[in-house]
Structure 1
Amino acid sequence: MLVKNVIVELRSRLRSCNVYITTNIDFKKNCNLKISIQANCIVLNYYNDCDKRRDSLSSIESLSDYSDDDSNVTCSIPINEFCYVIPNSMSCLKIDNNTVSFRILTEPKNGGGFYSEFLTTKSLENTVKINKLNVNLQSNEYVKVICSNCSNIVSNGLVKFDRILELPTTNIDMSEWFCHGHGHGSTTPNEVTPNKQDFLYRLTFFVVNHNILSDKTNKFNAKRVIYHCNRCLAWLGLKNKDTVKLYNSDVKLIQNNVEKRAFGHKNTTGDLIIDDFIYTIECMMNEFNLGMQYTLMYKIVLECSISVTNKQYLLIWIMDKELQVLRNKDEIILTDKIKLQSTFLTKVLYKIENALNDEVETWLSDPSVISTDISKSMFCRGVDHLKKMSLKVPEMFRYTNGYSISYLKV
């Protein structure tokens, strides 16, 4: 088959779409390919024999005066189900190795002209569905906390929590929410100190008083900021005075001899760490809208503490929060008429920094940027996930200005 993969990024408000086509043919300098932009579809014709080729690369787009009989391979990509294409509107054509990309203009499907358009309320189905988090713990239940790597018991035997409460975001000033102090003697702004039997959670971590953890584990981590398992040295969380922040991906709970996670996801990818990573970013994007409904840019910094003095940073710039993407339904295309399906994805720019440099400081000092700590496993697996998702983008479009382009999930 001529075509291997098709991705169309449809932006209805801009009345345009970017088309990325990956083929099974490595095009050389003299490309024997003709692309026909029609009102209802995109047609590709490939000529093995140069003598049969009717057009050169300089006239690659054609609306007429071609014959399917002349071409050795023909492929059609119907697009009228999702938008109306304006013929003869191709621009920004690029052909590199086996990748063809270009931009075409569209017309609104719900009526209107160039100067006016009838807008409709966006359907709830046509949005990025945020994963929902389930708390797998209830108050007054006796559980053990164990290391997810070696099953070492890190809690002080069986423990129970009187209160299970969600923490507010750390990216707000608590003084703006209350007319009087709620620090209860705390000298650090936004610091929430849990009581001995409190289970305070946020995103995919929970904060507990260090007294509920075993003496052996506490003594082992007495002079550490990073909280490790005292048996296998696995990364479990972060310590701050009398509190310990433990992460869902690094510890488990045992109740009635049954192991479970503190948090579960309703819509799962099958990988808990990736679910935690995606959920963290999606929640932070929602928090971005808090008092900033008209913000066009979303910038997020995910921090990972490796040691007392060493941190890694993942800079994420949300390009499109709800981008409509058309993709081929079948992973392997076996016909000359390709069927597309529509999904809404989050497109991001990301960059990894292994130290606190000027760029990271600029991001962190920007009041419009939100940040949070994530676990070591989430950082490593999350970066691998973004790299894997970036393979969906043609190679020549994966990088820009030092950042990599990817999708949050596909």
Structure 2
Amino acid sequence: MLVKNIFMELRSRLRSCNVYITTNVDFKKECNLKISIQSDCIVLNYYDNEDTLKRRDSLSSIESLSDYSEEESDITCMIPIQDFCFIIPNSMSCLKIEKNTISFRVLTEPKNGGNFYAEYISVETENKEIKVEKMNVNLKTESDVKFLCANCSNIISDNFVKFDRILELPSTNLDMSEWFCHGHGHGHGHTSQKDVLKPKKLDFLHRLTFFVVNNNILSEKVNKFNSKRTVYHCNRCLAWLGLKNKDTVKLYNADIKILDNNIEKHVFSHNNSIDDVSADDFIYTIESMTREFNLGLQYTMMCKIVLECTMSATKKQYLLIWVMDRELQVLRNIENKNENDKVMLQSSFLTKILYKIESEMNDEVETWLSDPTVVSTDISKSMFCKGIDHLEHMSLKIPECFRYTNGYCISYLKA
């Protein structure tokens, strides 16, 4: 099979499609390849012959890199695309062939009527919202539970705990003075969120993928071990569990388990999991913050997010994320489902982002954090590491020469 992997970014509103094809052939400088752009498919013809002819530049409907006919080709591969869109045959541009990759851009016709210059757009298309997977809370007020270190199962709670209240916290980027109808004895709206949201002993306050509890529910041994620490660690295996603030502790879902009826489980679970709790939590955090930021602004603003990871009392790492496309339709080849010389495609929707890792506070990080349009939150060490691994893996979907722009790396959320 000529084609190894196909990845297409289909932007129906812009009527364009970026095509990235990885092949099993290491193309030479003067390769014999013909790319035929038809309205319902893309056809590749490869000629494995040493009597090569020089590549000719062309932007026609057929990108002819060889003077051979289709009948003479050694390998032919067809990529049907009519199930998703129709291509304008004379629209190929930005052709680039490097090593074993082929990339180019084509224009598309709308499938729901009209043409490239005029189109019928339904109301449902205009009101499209970001789809955030539902997160399940596996904790009830009537449950007696113990808190465990997810790494070594060390019990960190003070025996069993039964919470009186389980409440969801508002966004950390809201003005907390607007969350209450009166001051609660804290002044006139100048109190910080940490003071306002100080949990009582049997309060369980949660948001995104972390929860805040009073440290009185945690064992004296673990509290004593962390008395002089900013980062809350397991006293047995030293695993990173959360962050401490006076008499409250912010714990993270991926690093903590609860023991409920002799069953160990995480507090939060996701319906569509990728089999890694930290990566699931990482994706959910970004999608939720993007949706909160863009409510009512889906097509007017791009969201910028700073994810902060506290490594120690004096050291933090930062992940700068710029959400470019929140519902980008991508077409990929279905593995192990090829019909003769045809490569079958499947459609899914991903979030396309630019990201950059900063190991310390610098001018760029400071500029982002001081920008009122940028949202930020703390994440756990495991989420930070697993999240970066996920982004690096997803960036492999496109050729290396297209993965970087202006110092940022291009990647996608979800698998």
Q: Deviations over 1:258-311 (max 9, x none)?
A: 212111111211111111111111111111124645542111111100001100
In structure 2, how many angstroms separate the alpha carbons of the residues matched to 1:158 and 1:136? 16
Q: CA deviation at 1:67?
A: 3.0
Does the 8 A contact of 2:226 with 2:233 survive in 1? yes
Give SS of 1:156's match: coil
Q: CA deviation at 1:57?
A: 3.3
Q: CA deviation at 1:146?
A: 1.3
Partner of 2:4: 4
In structure 1, how many angstroms separate the alpha carbons of the residues matched to 2:224 and 2:190? 26
Does the 8 A contact of 2:36 with 2:43 survive in 1? yes
TM score, norm. by length of structure 2: 0.93
Give SS of 1:180's match: coil
Mapping for residues 106-145 of structure 1, pairs under 5 Å: 106-122=108-124, 129-145=131-147
In structure 2, how many angstroms separate the alpha carbons of the residues matched to 1:13 and 1:162? 49
Q: Deviations over 1:9-54 (max 9, x none)?
A: 111111111111111111111121111111111111111125476x
Mapping for residues 79-98 of structure 1, pairs under 5 Å: 79-98=81-100
Give SS of 1:392's match: coil
In structure 1, how many angstroms separate the alpha carbons of the residues matched to 2:116 and 2:160? 68
Give the paired residue count: 408
Amino acid of the residue matched to residue 409 of structure 2? S
In structure 1, how many angstroms separate the alpha carbons of the residues matched to 2:177 and 2:2? 62
Amino acid of the residue matched to residue 34 of structure 1? K
TM score, norm. by length of structure 1: 0.94
Partner of 2:396: 391
Partner of 1:189: 192
Q: Which runs of 5+ in 1 are unaligned?
A: none
Partner of 1:324: 329
Q: Deviations over 1:159-191 (max 9, x none)?
A: 111000000010111224445324647974222
Q: Deviations over 1:132-157 (max 9, x none)?
A: 11111111321111111122111111
Q: CA deviation at 1:391?
A: 1.0
Is 2:413 aligned against 1:408?
A: yes
Amino acid of the residue matched to residue 243 of structure 1? T
Partner of 1:15: 15
Q: CA deviation at 1:106?
A: 0.9
Q: CA deviation at 1:234?
A: 1.0
Partner of 2:221: 216
Is 2:344 aligned against 1:339?
A: yes
Partner of 2:316: 311
Q: CA deviation at 1:96?
A: 0.6
In structure 2, how many angstroms separate the alpha carbons of the residues matched to 1:96 and 1:183? 66
Amino acid of the residue matched to residue 190 of structure 1? Q
Identify the match of residue 71 of structure 1 among 62, 68, 73. Answer: 73
In structure 1, how many angstroms separate the alpha carbons of the residues matched to 2:43 and 2:18? 15
Partner of 1:160: 162
In structure 2, how many angstroms separate the alpha carbons of the residues matched to 1:298 and 1:261? 29
In structure 2, how many angstroms separate the alpha carbons of the residues matched to 1:183 and 1:2? 71
Q: CA deviation at 1:205?
A: 0.8
Partner of 2:55: 56
Does the 8 A contact of 1:33 with 1:60 survive in 2? no
Mapping for residues 26-37 of structure 1, pairs under 5 Å: 26-37=26-37
Partner of 2:24: 24
Amino acid of the residue matched to residue 57 of structure 1? R
Does the 8 A contact of 2:18 with 2:105 survive in 1? yes
Amino acid of the residue matched to residue 259 of structure 2? I
In structure 2, how many angstroms separate the alpha carbons of the residues matched to 1:117 and 1:292? 23
In structure 1, how many angstroms separate the alpha carbons of the residues matched to 2:137 and 2:316? 29
Q: Deviations over 1:48-103 (max 9, x none)?
A: 125476x7332475549973212111111111111111112110111110111001
Query: Relative to 1, partners in 2 of residues 1:18 and 1:308: Cα closer, same or farther, differing over 3 Å?
Result: same
Identify the match of residue 380 of structure 2 among 360, 375, 388. Answer: 375
Partner of 1:40: 40
Give SS of 2:301's match: coil
Identify the match of residue 153 of structure 2 among 143, 151, 154. Answer: 151
Amino acid of the residue matched to residue 56 of structure 1? R
Q: Which runs of 5+ in 2 are unaligned?
A: none
Q: CA deviation at 1:232?
A: 1.4
Identify the match of residue 257 of structure 1 among 251, 255, 262. Answer: 262
Is 2:366 aligned against 1:361?
A: yes
Amino acid of the residue matched to residue 22 of structure 1? T
Is 2:295 aligned against 1:283?
A: no
Give SS of 1:267's match: coil
Query: Relative to 1, partners in 2 of residues 1:218 and 1:169: Cα closer, same or farther, differing over 3 Å?
Result: same
Amino acid of the residue matched to residue 157 of structure 1? N
In structure 1, how many angstroms separate the alpha carbons of the residues matched to 2:38 and 2:250? 57
Give SS of 1:217's match: helix
> Over aligned residue pairs, what C-alpha RMSD do you find?
2.2
Partner of 1:243: 248
Does the 8 A contact of 2:45 with 2:75 survive in 1? yes
Amino acid of the residue matched to residue 181 of structure 1? G
In structure 2, how many angstroms separate the alpha carbons of the residues matched to 1:290 and 1:20? 32
Query: Relative to 1, partners in 2 of residues 1:52 and 1:393: Cα closer, same or farther, differing over 3 Å?
Result: closer
Does the 8 A contact of 1:200 with 1:208 survive in 2? yes
Query: Relative to 1, partners in 2 of residues 1:114 and 1:2: Cα closer, same or farther, differing over 3 Å?
Result: closer
Q: CA deviation at 1:230?
A: 1.3
